[in-house]
Amino acid sequence: MNPVDPLSCLPTFVAVVRAGSFTLAAERLGLTKSAVGKRIARLEAHLGLPLLQRAGRRLHLTDEGRSYFETCSALLEQLAATEAELSPRARALKGRVRLDMPVAFGRRIVLPHLLALTQQHPELLLTMRLDDATVALPSDEVDIAIRFGALDDSMQRVARRISRQTRLICASPDYLARHGRPTHPAELEGHRCIVGTSGGPPGSWILREDGNEFRFTPLASHQFNDGEALIDAALAGFGLCQMPSSLLHRHIDRGELVPVLERFTGTPVDVHVLWARQATRSPRVRFIVDQLVALGERGLLDGRDQSPVMRVGASSAKSSTIS
């Protein structure tokens, strides 16, 4: 077998792991499946150990392969970021940024601002995944994530708080006219409650009484794995819901929803933006993170002002948020 520079095979190996198959990786790389297989075989021969195990149509990393993938993935990210910084066109941000965030908050609050920001940089491309699953940290295939609530400790991810929002329990005026307005959590047993599901918004509510916070799991009349659907059901008069204030402000201001049990709610929840530690040197990731932090500092993620912001602070990729 001819000698091979292992560096030339690293992008192929990383692409295969991320794709989960030789066929899909070949399509993404513009190569034949055979060529991809030969590159992986040469890399394994060079290292003298297997990186991948094949079980039917599925691929699994060996322990050595998993460690090698993590190193290779980080190196390629750093190399791409360095090349972008050295490029004379670095100020014209370009490339793809992959984001992951809750459905309602992402679509209603964040997306208008992101679309406005990318108009300044036509070569900056977005892949945005809207998902209400409450996993604290995203996968390696996500550059930036937004998460509500407490975060798990991780050496691989960095986080900045971009907002602190109040949880409110609301219902439509029509629902309250038909079922009455609860004045104590004990009365919730006689009400219809709209909650989330596993893999979606929480199925329980956070309440407080006499300064003590506690978790209350109402008897669910309706359940949704999508925050927007949950709010829509409350607007339609199907019951009470608890959601972050940013998603409810405009409906409350219009009289479409009415807060209840204010004395027992108002528990704040932190909203964080997370990004991979190895992405610190990526100008496009740094730009989006900086803009999200600036939006939060100006109160533009609280749901009261949904007009897109064309420029938030300095639009240069050189910024000090990530260090």
d(CA 206, CA 213): 7
Q: In this predicted structure, what is the pLDDT of residue 120?
A: 83
Q: What is the CATH number of the domain that holds 268?
A: 3.40.190.290
Q: In this predicted structure, what is the pLDDT of residue 322?
A: 41
- Tell me the residue range of the domain where 272 lies: 89-323
d(CA 289, CA 119): 16
Total count of domains within the chain: 2
Summarize pLDDT for 55-70 with one digit per residue, the tens: 767 788 999 999 998 8
Q: In this predicted structure, what is the pLDDT of residue 84?
A: 62
**What are the backbone dihedrals phi and psi of residue 242, each rounded to the nearest 5 degrees, phi first?**
-120, 125
Torsional class of 184: left (φ above 0), alpha (ψ -120 to 50), beta (otherwise): beta
* Residues 93, 97, 102, 105, Cα dihedral to 10°: 10
Cβ-Cβ contacts under 8 Å for 254 (sequence gap 6 or more): none
**What are the backbone dihedrals phi and psi of residue 314, each rounded to the nearest 5 degrees, phi first?**
-80, 135
DSSP, collapsed to helix, strand or coil, labels residue 74 as: helix
Q: Kindly give the parts of the chain with pLDDT less than 70.
A: 1-4, 56, 81, 83-92, 134-140, 153-156, 277-281, 304-323
Please check whether residue 1 lies inside any domain of the structure.
Answer: no
Q: In this predicted structure, what is the pLDDT of residue 159?
A: 87
* 163 and 293 belong to one structural domain: yes
Q: Which is nearest to 196 in space by CA: 221, 223, 173? A: 223
* 187 and 310 belong to one structural domain: yes
pTM value is 0.66
- Residue 213's Cβ-count burial label (10 Å; 0-12, 13-18, 19+) is exposed
* 17 and 113 belong to one structural domain: no
d(CA 252, CA 171): 10
Q: In this predicted structure, what is the pLDDT of residue 288?
A: 93
* 148 and 23 belong to one structural domain: no
Q: In this predicted structure, what is the pLDDT of residue 314?
A: 39
Q: Which is nearest to 17 in space by CA: 141, 133, 120, 128? A: 141
